[in-house]
Amino acid sequence: MEKSRVILRGLFKSFLLALTILLMVTPTSLIAAEKSIKIGVMGPMKLIYGQQILWGATMAAEEINAAGGIKMNGTAHKVELVEADDNCFLSVVDAVNAMERLVTVEKVALVIGGIRSESILAQQEVMADNKIVFLTSAGGSPELTTRVAKDYNRYKYFFRACISGKWTAQIGVISVDMAVKKMRTELGIQKPRVAVFAEKILTWEPLIKAVPAMLEKMGAEMAGVWQPSAVATDVRAELEAIEGAGSHIIFQLFSSPVGIAGSRQWGELQVPAVPVGANIESGRWKHWKDTNGKCEYNISMSPFARIKITDKTIPFYNKFFERYGDTPMWVSQSYDALFLVKEAIERAGGLDSDKLVAELEKTDYMGAQGRLAFTPTNDQFPHEFVWKPGYTTWVLTQWQAGEQAVIWPNGDAAFGVPGYEGLKYPGTGEFKFPPWVISHWKDKGK
């Protein structure tokens, strides 16, 4: 009997020793698992657009975690990103499945990402059914936020953590106006002809319809509309038709891979028309290599550039470039978006979606791209970034001598938008015409 008790005491001591060792070895991982907030990061991860959403969010998560994480009710929580490839360019079904997996299987607290508006519209239904906060850093269709205005209780969980396609289009229109004025003053073309060269996606349709009236106000005229696929790799036929129509200016509206072919083949053909507007691919550093340098003089737009928009802009830009070997595109607004989420969670004191919505609506944050605040609930387009001087403005860049030069805001009045007079970031340069455009059109308008 005594022998049995000795054996039992020995086993008990061994158990206590093993338990002690276990607690000594694993408490950090256990605590980390208990004190983390899972945030979904969603996009077409096989393409640069999804990758940049993930890269921006990853940089923000690392910085937040290094600074102690997200404080919730006095306790620090680490950010845990959960990646989802939504294949949104090619399949709405895949996009919806990715959103559903994040929400129902991964049990994320909220979702950041989404690009193609047609897919986001479907993903919004998953969001609304599950009452989960969804911040997109890319989708441009006005319908994404007019839904919030029309049915607030169902769609209030959606925030466009970027400016809408309406305002990116407005920046494009400003670049057209710049080119029209330069054509008139420097080349004597009194009524320049403008070709609309736009990928065929939902975001751009309202703008294309409005272009003729805009051009009339500028004293320009429409040369025609050409709409290749968003993933087209050959647009030579469209460019030749644009030249054949006597176009002086090409109003690009590209947010997809077609922008690579657009730049490269425009440069190869030396089309005598100035490319302006939005070619998002042209804003990438890698675009120079992708086009064999044929993108020289092409224009892009972005919320970021290596100039001082805020104190955070250049440090973010340089860190992103050094780490990933590319410039941050508009989808990298996921970086700022995660900091907005952090602030909202800390103010709400938890992850309740309705409370997060209320706190996100109060956002006033100085980010890498400018001062960030959401349009109010009574706006025609609620829950998207305020775009105007003093908030986020974006910039226009142009390839000049193999470098991306900022050319706007340039201190001049902006077509159709008040308040830009005098706004010019340090280091902003001048908009230049390609030499073959100058030689082709010089004196022909006089």
Strand order in the sheet with 193-198: 221-226, 193-198, 249-254, 274-279
Residue-level pLDDT at 14: 53
Determine the average pLDDT of the residues in 218-229.
96
- Any idea what DSSP says for residue 108? -
Instruction: State the Cα–Cα distance between residues 219 and 194, nearest whole angstrom.
Output: 11
Q: What is the DSSP letter of 413?
A: P
Calculate the CA 406 to chain-centre distance.
18
- String of DSSP letters for 263-292: HHHHHHHT-SSEEEEEEGGGGSTTHHHHTT
Distance between CA 305 and CA 377 in Å, rounded?
A: 30
Q: How confident is the model at residue 99 (pLDDT cuts 50, 70, 90)?
A: very high
What pLDDT shows up at residue 82? 98
pLDDT greater than 90 at residue 20? no
What tokens were used for 285? 């550093």
Each residue's pLDDT tens digit, 328-386: 998 899 999 999 999 999 999 999 999 999 999 999 999 999 999 999 999 999 999 99
* Lowest mean pLDDT across 15-19, 40-44, 395-399: 15-19
Q: How far apart are CA 424 and CA 351, in angstroms?
A: 40
User: Percent of the chain, pLDDT > 70?
Assistant: 92
197 vs 31: which has the higher pLDDT: 197
Whole-prediction pTM: 0.86
Burial class (CB in 10 A: 0-12, 13-18, 19+), 5: exposed
Rounded to whole angstroms, what are the CA distances from 155 to 30, 174, 245, 256? Answer: 36, 32, 44, 27
Contact call for residues 183 and 247 (beta carbons, < 8 A): no
Confidence of residue 326 (pLDDT cuts 50, 70, 90): very high
Convert the pLDDT of each residue in 128-180 to its tens digit. Answer: 999 999 999 888 888 999 999 999 999 999 999 988 877 888 898 999 999 99
* Mean pLDDT value across residues 57-68: 98
Structural domains in the chain, CATH included, are: 35-163+313-372 (3.40.50.2300), 166-302+409-441 (3.40.50.2300)
For the residues 30-37, what does the mean pLDDT come to? 62
Instruction: Give pLDDT tens digits for 413-435.
Output: 999 899 999 999 999 999 999 99
